[in-house]
Structure 1
Amino acid sequence: MSAVTLVSAAVLLRAGDGPALPGAFDEFLLARRPAGKVYAGWWEFPGGKVEPGETFHDALVRELREELGIAITQATPWLTREFVYPHATVRIRFFRVTAWDGDIHPHEHDAIAWLRADRAPSVEPILPANGPILKGLALPTACALTNAEENGVDAELARLAAALENGLRFVQVRDRTLPLPMREDFARAAVALARRHGALVVVNDDAELARRIGADGLHLPARTLMRSDARPDFAWVGASCHDAEELSRAAQLELDYALLGPVRPTPTHPQSAGLGWPAFAQLVERSPLPVFALGGMRPETMGEAWAHGAHGIALMRGWG
């Protein structure tokens, strides 16, 4: 088996006129490989090989200086994906880069393009290893878990409506202990509210309900994840995970995201001290999936979550 080539890649992000939630960025940058290089004319995220003695972050800083003429001032780890090309096997560590000094100019590519994360890319072809990243970029960074069981249906719908007005774009309908007719009515109302704002809705552990109400996807509890042998047939599928084995299973099934936690103590798990950020970061370091930090999260912890490799945060009580 050939050696794995380590690569560091940058997902440069900038905000437009989108939602004002922390971590909400509307546009990302792709660059086109020039003539004379392997895959000339293909679009990619800027970056390059990790040289001996470099960390992934070191390589990122050097490559963006050489390729785009900028000095990174803020970059956080995101995903790690392996891909087998005909000429090499590469392990790519993707970073989200949100601040830099200098103006971007393509020194080693022949073109650059800023693209909208919520739209199909307007350039092609895109390098195969970079393609799966685009769906992750379309995934909002704050996920709200409903809690109508505790708050009551009417109060929870009012809370959801207000949060959607304030920029929330990803909702997981939980509330598994509600009587089924009540849960279905609540879920239908949640989907209707979300549609007004272009928000995603996934239903927890009930594929038939998700289909009946026209939800965007399905969320699997860990126990369902571990006994699943195929990805459910939905546009968006995620899972709750608590350890490396469950994260690995989510990746094997090629799910779109995972929730990992609890990171901190929560009212629902007061006996658990939580994973803590160092353990969370270690678990997600090699994950090919966007991973949300769950447990004790609030909107103001978004930056801390990003710094430890999370895609974003999932909240039950802190989102409204």
Structure 2
Amino acid sequence: MSGNERIVDVAVGILIQPDGRFLLGSRPEGKPFAGFWEFPGGKLEAGETALDALKRELHEEMGITVTKATPWLTQSFTYPHATVRLHFFRVTGWEGELQAREGQSFAWQANRTLCVSPILPANGPIMRGLQLPATLALSNAAGLGVEPWLARWQSALENGMQWLILREPQLSANAYGDLAQQVIALARRHDAKVLLHTHAELARDLRADGVHLPARIAAQFSQRPRGLDWVGASAHNPAELAQAQRIGVDFAMAGHVQATTSHPDQAPMGWTGFAELAAQGWPFPLYAIGGLQASDVSIAQQNGAHGIAWLSGAWL
């Protein structure tokens, strides 16, 4: 993209049903990529915020009034006809019945069973982020003991937990590898995903679902670790998030948001600090982390997070 090329800002809404299905609409005749399916939205007008544009566009195009929308992520994409900066919102509340005011078609979709195509290129990567859970658990064998924590992991799986980051820095390499094998074996029985912490090579060897990199480790990579389905990273500031973007992570954790016993000498960023960080427009979902509970998911999303990551609170 040349430095003089104009970027078109677009607000995009991902309408989500309580069961997780999301809405796609077809692009009408007369527009570029006519017939392709996309998340609905439209260009920002002069002086509009992205949220204002979203509400206006969804009312004009679909006849609905948005009542609840939270900022999610920002993607830039270059088409032959334009470079667009897409401001995505998750829309979980609206009033009115869907109307095809521009002659478009609508289809409610489930992430792993899309039944419409082709998908507009800029919207394809967004499907990946929609697979992530609202709460992402970190293991706590350090606090509970290995065997008691494994019992809680088994119980959590039986109660529907689907994602885990195995973070146990106190263990030796051999002990961590042994625990990882047990954790992954249990997860496979419940179709759950396990990301190892720090150890990308071990994650590949054990066929884990991915790796989560602390900021100091992510800084050592020049590209995304190969051979892994999912890659996440931790970050505490814009520079660390920019490095996560460079190596192509699928999500990042940012914090700490509230005071925690693990960082007693570091001041928390609070929700204001987190919101300021999220508002810089990262192309991947952000999780808030640090002293949070399940009841904090809603406030996290209002401040631009995909959800929360938690350690001790996940195993109570």
1:81 maps to what in 2?
75
One-letter amino acid of the structure 1 residue matched with residue 15 of structure 2: L
The correspondence for 2:7, drawn from 4, 7, 32, is: 4
| Distance in structure 1 (CA, Å) of the matches to 2:183 and 2:141 | 11
2:165 touches 2:212 (CA, 8 Å); kept in 1? yes
- Residue aligned with 1:14, SS: coil
1:70 touches 1:102 (CA, 8 Å); kept in 2? yes
| Distance in structure 2 (CA, Å) of the matches to 1:129 and 1:162 | 39
- 1:75-107 per-residue CA deviation (whole Å, 9 max, x = no partner) reads 000001111111111111000000111122322
The correspondence for 1:240, drawn from 231, 234, 247, is: 234
The correspondence for 1:308, drawn from 279, 297, 303, is: 303
| Distance in structure 2 (CA, Å) of the matches to 1:299 and 1:164 | 17
**Consecutive aligned runs of 4 or more in structure 1 exceeding 6 Å deviation:** none
One-letter amino acid of the structure 2 residue matched with residue 77 of structure 1: P
Gaps of 5+ in 1: 17-25
2:108 maps to what in 1?
114
| Distance in structure 1 (CA, Å) of the matches to 2:164 and 2:103 | 39
- Residue aligned with 1:105, SS: coil
- Residue aligned with 2:312, SS: coil
The answer to whether 1:189 aligns with 2:182 is yes
- Residue aligned with 1:90, SS: strand
| Distance in structure 1 (CA, Å) of the matches to 2:267 and 2:161 | 28
1:20 maps to what in 2?
none
The answer to whether 1:199 aligns with 2:199 is no
1:276 maps to what in 2?
270
2:14 touches 2:23 (CA, 8 Å); kept in 1? yes
One-letter amino acid of the structure 1 residue matched with residue 8 of structure 2: T
1:238 touches 1:256 (CA, 8 Å); kept in 2? yes
The two structures have a TM-score, normalised by structure 1, of 0.94
Q: Which sits farther off after the overlay, 103-112 or 5-14?
A: 103-112
- Residue aligned with 2:30, SS: coil
- Residue aligned with 1:129, SS: helix
The two structures have a TM-score, normalised by structure 2, of 0.95
The answer to whether 1:156 aligns with 2:149 is yes
Indicate how the Cα distance of structure 1 residues 84 and 158 shifts in structure 2: closer, same or farther if over 3 A, else same. same
Instruction: Tell me by how many angstroms 1:109 deviates.
Output: 4.5
One-letter amino acid of the structure 2 residue matched with residue 83 of structure 1: F
Instruction: Tell me by how many angstroms 1:131 deviates.
Output: 1.1
| Distance in structure 2 (CA, Å) of the matches to 1:182 and 1:135 | 32
Instruction: Tell me by how many angstroms 1:147 deviates.
Output: 1.5
CA RMSD, 1 decimal: 1.3
Instruction: Tell me by how many angstroms 1:178 deviates.
Output: 1.1
- Residue aligned with 1:154, SS: helix
1:72 touches 1:100 (CA, 8 Å); kept in 2? yes
Identity %: 48
- 1:237-284 per-residue CA deviation (whole Å, 9 max, x = no partner) reads 011111100101111111101011111111101222211111111112
| Distance in structure 2 (CA, Å) of the matches to 1:247 and 1:223 | 12
Indicate how the Cα distance of structure 1 residues 109 and 192 shifts in structure 2: closer, same or farther if over 3 A, else same. farther
- 1:166-211 per-residue CA deviation (whole Å, 9 max, x = no partner) reads 3322100010221333222221221122223222210001123212
1:21 maps to what in 2?
none
One-letter amino acid of the structure 2 residue matched with residue 15 of structure 1: P
The answer to whether 1:230 aligns with 2:223 is yes
| Distance in structure 2 (CA, Å) of the matches to 1:284 and 1:109 | 35
1:11 touches 1:95 (CA, 8 Å); kept in 2? yes
Indicate how the Cα distance of structure 1 residues 95 and 10 shifts in structure 2: closer, same or farther if over 3 A, else same. same
| Distance in structure 1 (CA, Å) of the matches to 2:83 and 2:202 | 41
1:267 maps to what in 2?
261
Give matches, 1:52-71, under 5 Å.
52-71=46-65
Gaps of 5+ in 2: none
- Residues matched between the structures, number: 310
2:222 touches 2:246 (CA, 8 Å); kept in 1? no
Instruction: Tell me by how many angstroms 1:291 deviates.
Output: 0.7
| Distance in structure 2 (CA, Å) of the matches to 1:43 and 1:32 | 4
Indicate how the Cα distance of structure 1 residues 196 and 103 shifts in structure 2: closer, same or farther if over 3 A, else same. farther
The answer to whether 1:249 aligns with 2:243 is yes
| Distance in structure 1 (CA, Å) of the matches to 2:68 and 2:190 | 30
The answer to whether 1:290 aligns with 2:285 is yes
1:219 touches 1:238 (CA, 8 Å); kept in 2? yes
Indicate how the Cα distance of structure 1 residues 144 and 109 shifts in structure 2: closer, same or farther if over 3 A, else same. farther
The correspondence for 2:161, drawn from 163, 168, 171, is: 168
Q: Which sits farther off after the overlay, 243-252 or 211-220?
A: 211-220
| Distance in structure 2 (CA, Å) of the matches to 1:271 and 1:7 | 41
1:78 touches 1:94 (CA, 8 Å); kept in 2? yes
